[in-house]
Amino acid sequence: MSTGTLKKVLWLKKGDEVNQLIDAIHELSAGLNALEAKAQEAKERERVHLALLDWLLAGDVGQSSEVIMRECLGIKQDTLYYPVDYQDFKRCYQLVNAIPEMNSAVEKLAFTSEHWLAIAKNWPNIWRKRINLGDLLARVDADRKSRWERGVL
């Protein structure tokens, strides 16, 4: 083997080592990015949990707002209370307003009952008192009774 060929082979081998090193750096970088993302998620969960703790300690907690909190945290619930009057709704609204992540729980609850669906769909209008919550729930109950009487349920 000539000196030139030997140099070329050594250069190619060194190139392979450099490529392997580059690949290892890319893998390490991807791993660090994944860890950073997990750390950020954990930090976000901690922020939400601390905000919920503050909310709970403030003391203005109703059954329906607690349902929203439990839904957001993925805690199994036997009874899915919904707000039945404006004060009850106000507690729910204040929770969602204080901790925007709770909004996803309201969206999930909309799939659990006709009452939660009506409340979720009319959320801003109930808050602005453009829609009376009692009237809205009465319409839901009347519609449900009508369908039951017709055998449509």
Are 55 and 70 contained in the same domain?
A: no
pTM: 0.70
Are 142 and 82 contained in the same domain?
A: yes
Are 49 and 67 contained in the same domain?
A: no
Are 85 and 136 contained in the same domain?
A: yes
Predicted local confidence at residue 50, as pLDDT: 92
- Residue at a domain's end among 13, 44, 59: 59
5 has a pLDDT exceeding 60: no
Are 94 and 68 contained in the same domain?
A: yes
8 has a pLDDT exceeding 80: no
Are 144 and 77 contained in the same domain?
A: yes
Are 48 and 65 contained in the same domain?
A: no
Token pair for 82: 């919904």
Are 23 and 78 contained in the same domain?
A: no
Are 69 and 34 contained in the same domain?
A: no
Q: How confident is the model at residue 152 (pLDDT cuts 50, 70, 90)?
A: low
91 has a pLDDT exceeding 90: yes
Instruction: Give the residue-averaged pLDDT of 83-87.
Output: 91
Exposure on the CB side of residue 104, measured as CA atoms within 13 A: 6
Are 120 and 55 contained in the same domain?
A: no
Instruction: Give the residue-averaged pLDDT of 82-107.
Output: 92
Mean pLDDT score across all residues of the chain: 84
Q: How confident is the model at residue 26 (pLDDT cuts 50, 70, 90)?
A: confident
Are 79 and 104 contained in the same domain?
A: yes
Residue 33 belongs to what domain range? 1-59
Number of domains, the chain: 2
Q: How confident is the model at residue 66 (pLDDT cuts 50, 70, 90)?
A: very high
Predicted local confidence at residue 17, as pLDDT: 72
Predicted local confidence at residue 13, as pLDDT: 61
